[in-house]
Amino acid sequence: MRHFFKFTNFYFYQVPINLENNDDLIKIVKSTIGTKFGGKWGDLLVNLAVKGVRKVYLKDANGNVEIDVKRYAKIEKIPGGVTEDCCVLDGVMFNKDVTHPGMRREIKNPRVCLLDCPLEYKKGESMTNMEFTKDDDFKKALAMEETEVMRMCEHILKVKPDIVITEKGVSDIAQHFLLKHGNISCIRRIRKTDNNRIARVCGAIICNRPEELTEKDIGTACGLFEVKKIGDDYFSFMTECKIEGACSIILRGASKDVLNEVERNLHDAMGVARNVMQNPRLVPGGGALEMELACRLNEKANTVEGIHQWPYKALASAFEVIPRTLAQNCGGEVVRLLTELRAKHATGQDGMKWGINGNTGKICNMEEENIWDPCAVKLQTYQTAIESACMLLRIDDIVSGIKKQNRHAGGRKAEDSEEAEGFGDARDG
């Protein structure tokens, strides 16, 4: 199925994408990293990007699509191993270990409790002084601290969690009490972003106070919790989750330079996958769209008389910069290539698919070469460029910071004042 979309009163060839067909999506994303460092592992990175974006793809009842790759698709770089070990988890991971050596490091179908508060004795907002006059005063102070911590732990024990994860600290007393009375594993000082991802895949709700915990706040969608040691660090994994909406992408490599390069390529691939899934339409690449718009604008300009035709010609010339740059970069004969390409597009619908191959420097059919650009990116680029140009054209005058003297004042005084107010003249050195 092929149809046309409207842009600046022109219709252009476009191809819709079936998002259910994973092979088509992989083919599109692969074209973006084929010339990069990651081309060696192109298939692997493309599969990671598509799978990661699908994990954070959410569509509500009204048809609105949410793909928040930045917040919910976390890339974890772990030096060591080989690049083929990279994978997308059916859940999340974070660089934390349990706080006590006696706590469980592997739990199946855990009940997860997420907190945004410390499990320790609350200190004063400002400087707090305690005066001890008797031998028992210090014991009383310790008893107060222990009582307060035990009270918070009792509220947690009522909901019977298996794992307690908090963004703040957990005191030794709280660890001992939770381990002894509930066999609960604790993880402390986790990042806010990691906590949000855990809440999304586990179905838990982050609470600010232990007193507010209810059964609805406990997450039960996680299938497996385990702590693994990779290299010198411990990592907590929450996998086999029943709810999608967040994920962690693990990258392995021989060095940090390799990991950074693979990460950059992966970001590009995920960006393309996200744009395509938000607006599943493609247009031919290689400057085909730009040259087609330039040809249609020139045709429109020929139908307009006087000076009103020049905006059309100026915009057409701006669009031709893209294919001209491609021709220059590949070392081809710019004038000959543009003339030939312009002639192809003048023929009509069949010429819409023709562009410049950046590798060979020849004119070819973009559909046959499988060179595509996301429609959403093109539309946003043109809209931004045209709006910026319009904004600059609306400027009627340049506001100067130099105070101008009245030229009609006459006399030597006016001349002297003009010299005194001058800027950037020969006296500046």
Domain ranges of the chain: 18-90+246-279, 92-122+135-239, 288-393
What contacts 45, CB < 8 A, 6 or more positions away? 33, 38, 86, 262, 265, 266, 269
Fold exhibited by the domain 18-90+246-279: GROEL; domain 2 (3.30.260)
Using DSSP bridges, classify how beta strands 281-284 and 372-374 pair: parallel, antiparallel or unpaired. Answer: antiparallel
By the 8 A CB rule, do 235 and 180 touch?
no
Q: Is the dihedral of CA 228, 231, 235, 237 positive or negative?
A: negative
Is residue 402 exposed (0-12), middle (13-18) or buried (19+ Cβ within 10 Å)? exposed
pLDDT tens, residue by residue, 215-227: 999 999 999 999 9
The rounded mean pLDDT for the chain is: 81
pLDDT of 95 over the 70 cut = yes
Report pLDDT for 13.
58
Q: What letter represents residue 346's amino acid?
A: A
pLDDT of 386 over the 70 cut = yes
By the 8 A CB rule, do 25 and 52 touch?
no
Fold exhibited by the domain 92-122+135-239: GroEL (3.50.7)
Whose structure tokens read 């994994």?
Answer: 237
State both tokens at 196. Answer: 């949000």
> From CA 6, how far away is CA 187, in angstroms rounded?
54
Helices (H) and strands (E) counted in the chain, each on its own, are: 14, 18
Report pLDDT for 425.
44
Please state the CATH superfamily assignment of the domain spanning residues 288-393 in this structure: GroEL-like equatorial domain (1.10.560.10)
b/e burial code for range 299-317 (CB count within 10 A of at least 16 → b)? ebbeeeeeeebeebbebbe
> From CA 36, how far away is CA 42, in angstroms rounded?
9
Report pLDDT for 10.
42
The pTM for the full model equals 0.71
pLDDT tens, residue by residue, 301-326: 888 888 888 888 998 999 999 989 98
Report pLDDT for 349.
61
pLDDT of 256 over the 90 cut = no
SS3 call for 297 = helix
Query: What's the distance, Cα to Cα, between the start and end of the chain in Å?
Result: 70
Distance of CA 85 to the CA centre of its chain: 23
Q: Which stretch, 77-81, 234-238, 288-292, 366-370, has highest mean pLDDT? A: 234-238
Full DSSP string of 11-71: EEEEEE--TT-HHHHHHHHHHHHTTSGGGGGHHHHHHHHHHHHHHTEEE-TT--EEE-HHH
State residue 154 phi and psi, 5-degree precision: -65, -40
Q: Look at 31-40, 275-284, 345-354, 414-423 and tell me which has the smallest mean pLDDT.
A: 414-423
Phi-psi region of 64 (alpha: psi -120 to 50; beta: other; left: phi over 0): beta
Report pLDDT for 402.
56
Closest CA to 32 of 62, 12, 53, 11: 53
pLDDT of 36 over the 70 cut = no
Whose structure tokens read 């600059």?
Answer: 392
